[in-house]
Structure 1
Amino acid sequence: MIYAGFIISAFITVWAAVKLSTYADVIGEQTKLGGMLAGTLLLAGATSLPEVTTSLTAVYLNNPDIAVSNVFGSNLFNILILAVFDLIYRKSHIFRSIDKSHQYAAWIGITMTAVVFLPMIVPYHFSFFSVGIEMILMVIIYLIGLWVLSRHQEPVQNEIIPPTVFNDHHKNAISLKEASYGFAAASVFTLIAGSFLTITGDAIAIATGLGSSFMGTFLIAGATSLPEVVAVLVAVQLGNHALAVGNILGSNMFNLLILALVDAALRGEAVLQAVHPVTLITILTVLLLTSTALFGMNWIKRAEQNSKWHTLPSSVIVIMYVILSYLIFIYG
């Protein structure tokens, strides 16, 4: 029964993600947001709703390890999504479509991750109104980052993609009002489905006897990242690579904010010091994979159009993800 509930919740999440991506694309086109900010603000926030409910539900279930490992596992899986789609659509050269704002978003995510990583290796905890100082600093970096992104967004030329199953109801046929209401409704469905994913995922973890770190990093994180998978697929099909990359980088930034909510929900207990040590490996890998993606953005942007090595960064990301999966399965 729990497996059926998990699968049904996953299907609802995927359906809602298709709607979210299409509506975010319309809003980005018909307002001043553009693809990058539509991906970083609207689509990233909405597709991260399952992570919000998952982590807060894990706190309610007194399992902060799942709450934290889900956040970092989702960020790890998101970078993998970008790499896999870059390999599948290698002729589109997804990384070549990025601009400086994407690079800034990657740097912001790396900085936020580094800020929350330090308290996990240093035995101290200072809090303000039950929220760790590092969490407050992370939120400040996020807000400053959004301001920087809003000032450095550049127009990106999208490729012309033939009509597909994902864009047969073209964005031009949807009004801004319809897109706004549709986006809100799809966000609610995503939020509800994410809650059920958490509950059934935790039940599966108990039934199988696998560690919370492994379940949070891979099964639950992978399930809650389904909206990002579909959102990126739809964005690529629409030829909006800026939206696809912005969604992944923005989701990773937004996901880290969830840790502040979790830290506050625990009421004084340092959430980052209540997790399994193997989570350190996950965080380090997030930093490494994001840095690799950032390197790929810069390198491919300067490489020749027909370079045979433009998929190398994405290939490295996939390999490192497989290695991490093995390590966490063994030691988690």
Structure 2
Amino acid sequence: MTFIVFFLAATIVIFAAIQLNKYGDVINQKSTLSGAMIGTFLIGGATSLPELTTSLTAVYIDNADIAVGNMLGSNVFNVLILMTFDFIYRKKRVFNTVEQSTHLPIGKTGFVTTALLVIAILWDNSPSFFHIGFEMYLLIILYLFVVKKLDYGEEDIEVTSDLTLKQGVIRFIFAAIVVFLAGSTLTISGDKIAEQTGMNSSFVGSFLIAAATSLPELVTVLAAFQMAKYSLAIGAILGSNLYNLQLLVITDIFHQKGAILNMTSLSNAMTALLGLMMIFLTIYALQRPLVKNVFIYALPSATTIVLYFIATYIMF
């Protein structure tokens, strides 16, 4: 029964994510916001809502490993999604076709902030202020800095929707609420799965629940690739990952027993290290020169996929 509830909640998340992508595109068409900005901040933020609900619920049931593992694992799975589609569409040479000025700063910020989390997890009793880890304050500062520095250029958008901007916004918000509510169900059922199967909470949070809460990103990237809106796809993934780390700050605030990273298991450090390597490969794919050979172009994405499954096997 627990597995049925888990997969039912995951199905609802998928359906709502399809609507998020659909109405996010409407807002993209009817507003002055660029595709990169829509993907990075609007869709990226909304598709991170399951992670927020999941981690806050994990704090409520006093399971720090699921709370942290969910955020870190979701970021890892998000990059896996992007690089898997890049591998499938390798003949399109997706990373060579998008504007770097928006995506590179976000990717590099994600790399630095993930590195901070690795240090905090490995550091026994890292500093904290008001029961919030010192690294969380740095996450906020870096996030605000990169948002202020981003440059969103003008782009021509083909208007294909009959909906008004107001209708698009209202329906987008409704879909986001559905996604938000489904997250708590995923957490509670995932926690019960951990108890029933004997799997550790870190693995459940980092891979099982993280994969489920990343389903909105999967649907978003799939739709974006099918529409050849590669900038939106990359922005959605990198933006969602930055949002997840900010949501980890919120999770730490609600964790009243002290800095949450001081109370999570070291196995989460491996997830964070995996994320660090995967982000590095993504940044490399973004900023390297034009590659004509398809095999050489696909190496970063292929390496990312292999790394993920090796790490999953080791942690399991």
TM-score range (shorter-chain normalised) is over 0.9
Give the conservation status (yes or no) of the 8 Å contact 1:127–1:268. no
Q: Alpha carbons of 1:56 and 1:171: their partners in 2 closer, same or farther (altered >3 Å)?
A: farther
Residue 98 of structure 1: aligned partner:
98
Instruction: Write out aligned runs for 1:41-60 (5 A).
Output: 41-60=41-60
Mean Cα deviation higher: 102-111 or 114-123: 114-123
| CA shift for structure 1 position 133 | 2.0
SS at match of 2:296: coil
Q: Does 1:71 align with 2:71?
A: yes
SS at match of 1:134: helix
Mean Cα deviation higher: 267-276 or 228-237: 267-276
The two structures have a TM-score, normalised by structure 1, of 0.90
Q: Alpha carbons of 1:254 and 1:53: their partners in 2 closer, same or farther (altered >3 Å)?
A: same
SS at match of 1:230: helix
Residue 25 of structure 2: aligned partner:
25
List per-residue Cα deviations over 1:17-64 (Å, max 9, x = no partner). 111011112212322221111011110110000000110100111100
| CA shift for structure 1 position 117 | 2.2
CA distance in 1 between counterparts of 2:291 and 2:164 reads: 39
Q: Alpha carbons of 1:328 and 1:10: their partners in 2 closer, same or farther (altered >3 Å)?
A: same
Instruction: Write out aligned runs for 1:1-332 (5 A).
Output: 1-99=1-99, 100-149=101-150, 152-154=151-153, 171-299=160-288, 301-304=289-292, 307-329=294-316
List per-residue Cα deviations over 1:157-194 (Å, max 9, x = no partner). 89x9xxxxxxxxx8422221111011000001101111
CA distance in 2 between counterparts of 1:293 and 1:128 reads: 33
| CA shift for structure 1 position 273 | 1.6
The two structures have a TM-score, normalised by structure 2, of 0.95
CA distance in 1 between counterparts of 2:170 and 2:68 reads: 32
Residue type at the aligned position of 2:291: A
List per-residue Cα deviations over 1:250-286 (Å, max 9, x = no partner). 0110001122112111225121121111111111110
Percent identity between matched residues is: 40
| CA shift for structure 1 position 327 | 1.3
Mean Cα deviation higher: 320-329 or 20-29: 20-29
Residue type at the aligned position of 1:68: V
| CA shift for structure 1 position 328 | 0.8
Residue type at the aligned position of 1:97: T
List per-residue Cα deviations over 1:102-139 (Å, max 9, x = no partner). 11110011111122222222234333333222101111
SS at match of 1:302: coil
CA distance in 2 between counterparts of 1:297 and 1:179 reads: 31
Q: Alpha carbons of 1:307 and 1:156: their partners in 2 closer, same or farther (altered >3 Å)?
A: farther
CA distance in 2 between counterparts of 1:55 and 1:156 reads: 37
Gaps of 5+ in 2: none
Give the conservation status (yes or no) of the 8 Å contact 1:98–1:156. no
